[in-house]
Structure 1
Amino acid sequence: MSEFEMTKTVAAPARTVFAEASDLSESSRWMSPSFHFRVEEPPAVTVVDPPEHRGEPALVRVEEDQMRVEWGTRGSGHYAGWLQVEGTEEAPSEVIVHLSFFDEDQAPPRRAVEDALRRSLDRLGEIVEGADRD
């Protein structure tokens, strides 16, 4: 099993961060282009993996009261992940993303995953920090 986790502090209130992070229909605004959700009938989604654009059925659960989003593949059980926002109504907040790949042979290279997580969290931070100034 391969596990990855990354944390970012952002200068925005936790609810602002969670509202952006949990809006699955807008996830392409901040998620890595190598990973995004095609929203279906919740909690079902398809995780689309460019460049092949193949989709894998997945489930997503959004826990507003816990400011947490969890997802995982259906059927194949290849991977699962979660995103947690921590903080208060005051800035800053902390965003934690965790990914687990259960089959070592299916796991992407560590550097690629870490780079994608870093870029995604940086974009999320830019979006919510800009929204908080508006």
Structure 2
Amino acid sequence: MAEYERSRTMPAQPEQVFDQAADAARFDAWLPDALHVHVQDPPAVTVHEDRSGQDLPALLRAEPDQMRLEWGTREQGDYTGWLQVAGIGSGTSEVTVHLSFLEEGHDPGERAVNDALDGSLSRLEEQVRMRVDDTAG
């Protein structure tokens, strides 16, 4: 089993960050470019992976009161992850994303996963900044 985790500070209240991250209509704006989530009947979703060309049945749960998203593959149980938003004061938040690959064959490797996580967190931060700027202006 391989596990990866990355965090990033964002310039917004935790509720604003969580709302942006949990908005299913905006997943493509911050998720890795190679993943596309199609929400069917929540918590059931389908994840299309460009790398393999596969559509994988998955589950996605949002826990707004805990500011947490949790996801994972449905049938195989090969992959799970979570995103947690925490307020750290002065109008900033910390977002942590954790991924677990339970089967070695599904793990794309440390560098690829860390690059994808860093890219996703950067895109999420940009989406949060645009939303906060639109609200403030």
TM-score normalised to the size of structure 1? 0.94
Where in structure 1 do 4 or more consecutive aligned residues deviate above 2 Å? none
Aligned residues: 134
In the other structure, the counterpart of 1:20 is 20
Cα distance, 1:132 vs structure 2: 1.0
Cα distance, 1:130 vs structure 2: 2.1
Three-state SS of the structure 1 residue aligned to 2:72 is strand
Cα distance, 1:47 vs structure 2: 1.3
Cα distance, 1:12 vs structure 2: 1.0
Contact preservation (8 Å) 2:58, 2:72? yes
Unaligned runs of 5+ in 2: none
In the other structure, the counterpart of 2:60 is 60
Three-state SS of the structure 2 residue aligned to 1:62 is strand
Counterpart Cα distance in 1 of 2:73 and 2:40: 14
Contact preservation (8 Å) 1:14, 1:90? no
Partner AA of 2:53 in structure 1 = H
In the other structure, the counterpart of 2:93 is 93
In the other structure, the counterpart of 2:5 is 5
Structure that is richer in strand per residue: 2
CA RMSD of aligned residues (A): 1.4
Partner AA of 2:116 in structure 1 = A
Counterpart Cα distance in 2 of 1:94 and 1:28: 21
Contact preservation (8 Å) 2:88, 2:94? no
Cα distance, 1:16 vs structure 2: 0.8
TM-score normalised to the size of structure 2? 0.92
Partner AA of 2:41 in structure 1 = E
Partner AA of 2:111 in structure 1 = R
* Identical pairs, percent: 47
Matched, 1:79 2:79: yes
Cα distance, 1:90 vs structure 2: 4.9
Partner AA of 1:133 in structure 2 = D
